Amino acid sequence: MNRNCSAFSLCALLVGATMTASAASLVSGIERQYIDPTVRVEDDFYQHVNGKWLANTPIPADKGRYGSFDKLGDDTLDQLRGIVESLQQAASPDTEQRKIIDLYSGFLDEPGIEHRGATPLQADFARIEAVKSKQQIPALLAQLGRAGINVPVASDVHQDAKDSTRYVFDISQGGLGMPDRDYYLQDETRLKSVRDKYLAHIQTMFELGGSRTAAQDARNILQLETALARAQWSRVENRDPVKTYNRYDLDKLQALAAQFNWPDYLQAAGVQGKTTYLIVSQPSYFTNLGQLIQETPLSTWKTYLRWHVLSDSAPYLSQAYVDEHFSFYGTTLRGIEQNRLRWKRGISLVESCLGESLGKLYVEKYFPPQAKHRIDELVSNLMAAYRADIHTLDWMGAETRKRAEEKLAKFTTKIGYPDKWRDYRRLRIIRDDVLGNLRRAHEFQYAHDLAKLGKPVDRNEWDMTPQTVNAYYNPEKNEIVFPAAILQPPFFNAQADDAVNYGGIGAVIGHEISHGFDDQGSQYDGNGNLLGVPGWFTQEDLENFRARTHALVEQYAAYSPVPGFPINGELTLGENIADNAGLAIAYKAYQLSLGGTVAPVIDGLSGDQRFYYGWAEVWRGNARDNELIVRLKSDPHSPEFIRGRVPETNLASFYAAFGIKEGDKMYRPPDKRVSLW
């Protein structure tokens, strides 16, 4: 399970607390060409700020959504392509650069891939066919999982949530071919249509390989996946770090699922002898999985596993498989019209297999050393604002304040890139073995993680590559991380006054810090140990906090980005807390940065007004309905156009900045505003 809380947003490079240029030389940083003057600020601030951009920026044919975040992602891909293609002549044999070239070039070799067709799957299919009894299924699940195949048992090695000094092996639910259990279990018209098309897709994929039983095989697979979906926990349940922390000694696992051959699974997973216990994220799921193994014919399990090998491998096979795979997962599910260009998919493959090797080259070219210092200054301002705010919160008592300060003091900030790079010398890359390269890369990563068991926790390791356009908070390490790729334009304007930068990227950095204090992060201490409820809150303060977060759940649940598909306020609670807290703290940090002076008026806008313009600009974006539905079912973040127009309505400074009053559409009555920070 992914325990990081990522912004799915953008940060950028800021020059620090104060600009060195004179106020007269500064620009507002507001992209005024996108403002829609026909929409009043008081009626729809987000539409006013972004209206012309939203109306005149179509979603590219190869995307389900497009906004500021995606634009920066595209720019980074172009940068990475330039780096990779520049290595063609320079890379020496047996170097990581040669591995990058061979991996990328092999994927671009369409004639070679077309010639091989589906033959690269034969070894996997033979491994599945060799299974003679259900007792052998668990070991097979472990073997396929190590190679990156989506099977009913997912595994992860991470810091033990209740012992921050050691690593733990964690198993959790998996194995569905659609984005969420709701796609199997709900009969809403659109979801049912996707389900029907998924059935047809499975049949078509098998028919491409010449199967004569494809129709029946597809029905059996859907029936089994539906049973798995019924057994799985909801995404809201999986947000609970206490409920998903279930320690089992290895010799006690048989009582959890007697029909599951645990000794063989643990041996095949490489866990036996490396640890005496593991964490089971969803115990009832594994009990049901054992029963499903017992009740479902072996032939159906084999068909199901062949399906997941085929489906997960399809993007790296001949064109017929690529096209059919995209037809369902791109067009049917997300409404995307065409697949990404092959070079883009090739760069993504290099990132997934040799991420830090490519990242090292990226940093050398695009992330100057001084950038770390400049972003450090911004983070320091946000930390100072949080520290000051803790003393003023009306819902937090003295004991909780003290514990909050202790946790904030233990925060670790990582900026740009890791201090130590991953060594890929043992990863074997063969130019004309694309799928084999991917399998070996998964095995390489799995072995890297497995080797952590029994060793001290490495707190210098990163969970994202430097070229990732994102940021995250990890509660187990109590750290905020900002990769290099996110610290660049268009989200920072070096010639702009501070206001727009604090409103944009400053709020995103505040977002990440706030995860340490949201409904999940507040259950971890400063060292990353899971305390459970009430965490470091007193019971009284927890009840006050929950009353406010319950109001936030209801506030967001009132929005339906697609008719019939409301935001799940409980699923998105952590990210909505972070958006609201991040914006509130960024505003306070901006005020601190002014040092008691009055911000200049630029382009007819006050400093406070430019601050909020910066926030709304960060979240501009358009999305297809199908893409929104997938995200509403599976993503803990609210859609961009909600993130860009709701948090400000909870802040008094927003109303003061624009003179918004009762009767205006942006007005939210004071007793309906949610104030956390």
Report whether pLDDT(161) > 90. yes
Q: Cα dist. 672→59, 484, 540 in Å?
A: 35, 39, 22
What confidence category does residue 487 fall into, taking pLDDT thresholds of 50, 70 and 90? confident
Q: Is the pLDDT of residue 539 over 90?
A: yes
Question: Does the pLDDT value for residue 2 go beyond 60?
Answer: no
> Looking at residues 193-216, what average pLDDT do you find?
98
As its CATH architecture, domain 5-12+30-81+369-414+462-672 has 3-Layer(aba) Sandwich (3.40)
**In the chain, domain spans:** 5-12+30-81+369-414+462-672, 120-316
CA dihedral sign of residues 126, 129, 132, 137: positive
CA–CA dist 158, 528 (Å, integer): 12
Task: Note the pLDDT tens digit of each residue in 379-406.
Answer: 889 999 999 999 899 999 999 999 999 9
Asked if residues 483 and 465 have their Cβ atoms less than 8 Å apart, the reply is yes
Predicted pLDDT of residue 147: 97
Note the residue count of the chain: 677
Of 389, 387, 415, which is closest to residue 482 (Cα–Cα)?
415
Between 19-23, 76-80, 275-279, the lowest mean confidence (pLDDT) is in: 19-23
> For residue range 357-379, what is the model confidence (pLDDT) as tens digits?
999 999 999 988 776 777 788 88
- pLDDT for 6 equals 62
pLDDT tens digits, 109-140? 999 999 999 999 999 999 999 999 999 999 99
Instruction: Tell me the three-class secondary structure of 454-477, residue by residue.
Output: CCCCCCCCCCCCCCCCCCEEECCC
Q: What is the predicted pLDDT for the residue at 8? A: 43
Cα–Cα distance, 509 to 583 (Å, whole number): 9
Q: Could you check whether 5-12+30-81+369-414+462-672 and 120-316 share the same CATH topology?
A: no
pLDDT tens by residue, 540-592:
999 999 999 999 999 999 999 999 999 999 999 999 999 999 999 999 999 99
Q: Mean pLDDT lowest for which of 2-16, 53-67, 331-345, 405-419? A: 2-16
User: What does the alpha-carbon distance between residue 207 and residue 439 come to, in Å, rounded to a whole number?
Assistant: 24
User: Is the pLDDT higher at 474 or at 369?
Assistant: 474
Per-residue confidence (pLDDT) for residue 21, from 0 to 100: 40
Residue 25 has what pLDDT?
67
Structure tokens at 296: 């479902």
Please provide the distance, in angstroms rounded to a whole number, between the alpha carbons at the two ends of the chain: 29
Model confidence at 80, pLDDT cuts 50, 70, 90, reads: very high
Q: Which of 280, 512, 286, 264 is nearest to 382 (CA)?
A: 512
Q: Are 523 and 410 in contact (CB under 8 A)?
A: no
Strands 163-173 and 153-160: what pairing? antiparallel
Q: Per CATH, which fold does 120-316 belong to?
A: Neutral endopeptidase; domain 2 (1.10.1380)
Confidence band of 11 (pLDDT split at 50, 70, 90): very low
Please, where are the H alpha helices in 22-169? 45-56, 68-86, 96-108, 110-116, 122-129, 137-146
Q: What is the pLDDT of residue 12?
A: 29
Q: In the prediction, which pLDDT does 17 show?
A: 34
Give the tokens for residue 521: 């992060």
Q: Across all residues in the chain, what is the average pLDDT?
A: 93
CA distances from 242 to 246, 521, 534 (A): 8, 12, 11
pLDDT, position 518:
92
pLDDT tens per residue, range 594-614:
999 999 999 999 999 999 999
Percent of the chain with pLDDT over 90: 88
Q: What is the pLDDT of residue 1?
A: 52
Rounded to an integer, the average pLDDT of 509-516 is: 94
User: Does the pLDDT at position 674 exceed 50?
Assistant: yes
Q: What pLDDT score was predicted for residue 546?
A: 95
Looking up tokens 């983070």 gives 379
- Quick check: 23 pLDDT over 70? no
> 289 pLDDT exceeds 70?
yes
- For the stretch 85-100, pLDDT in tens is 999 876 687 799 999 9
Beta pairing partners, 496: 27
Q: How confident is the model at residue 663 (pLDDT cuts 50, 70, 90)?
A: very high
Instruction: Identify the pLDDT of residue 377.
Output: 80
Query: What average pLDDT does the segment 442-454 reach?
Result: 97
